[in-house]
Amino acid sequence: MKKKILVVDDDQDFKAAISILLEAKGYEIHQASSGAEGFSKARLEKPDLILLDVMMTHRTEGFDIAQKLHTEETTKDIPVIMVTGISKETQVFFKYEPDEVWLPVKEVLEKPVKPEALIKAVEKHVR
């Protein structure tokens, strides 16, 4: 059976490019354009991995959704990879260290993300 990946990003082109790339790699892709939509699709579809953008309707939406997914019983075991341009945007050049409580994600990738790096991360963390 194909592994399911949920891509949550408000940039349509970015979402399309990533979806095509991962579909070519044999994954089944579901898409969401906002944190709320992403959260409900995560509960509904129970994907094997979620790719999550940070800045959508508000600047820290991705962080909030990651926490919400982590505390929700049905979604807490789904691995999350964060894909973000936030450190360039805010000029905060520190690394986001994934963390059980504050940032419950597997990995944080910087936009624009190289296809090889994305595929590597996805293969590493997918359930």
Partner 1 sequence: MSDPKTVIQQLFNRLHWLVKLRWLAAAGVFAVVFGFSQIFHPRYSVLPLYAVALFLVAYNGLIYAALLFFRKISYSSANFLANFQIFIDLTCLAMLIHFSGGVENPFGFYFIFHVIIAGILLSRRAALFQTTYAALLFLGVAWSEYFNLLPYYSLGIASLELHHQPGYLFAVSFVFISTLYISAYMTTSISHLLKDREKGLMKANQQLNEKDRIKSEYVLHVTHDIRDDLSAIQTCLEPVEKEVIGSLNKLQADLLKRAQSRCEQLIRYVNALLDITKLKLTRQLTLEPFSLEIMIESICDSVRPLAESKNISFHVRTDLKEPAVKGVRIYLEEALLNLLKNAVRYTRPAE
Residues 68-87, mask of contacts with partner 1 (x by CB under 8 A): -----------------x--
Choice from 33, 34, 67, 87 touching partner 1 (CB under 8 A): 67
CA angle (51 as vertex; 8, 54 as ends), nearest 5? 65
Closest C-alpha to 66, from 39, 31, 34:
39
Does position 21 interact with partner 1 (CB under 8 A)? The reply is yes
Q: Whole-angstrom Cα distance, residue 83 to residue 62?
A: 9
Number of amino acids touching partner 1 (CB under 8 A): 24
Q: Please tell me what DSSP assigns to residue 97.
A: -
Residues near partner 1, by CB under 8 A: 11, 13-14, 16-18, 20-21, 24-25, 67, 85, 88-89, 91, 101-102, 111-116, 119
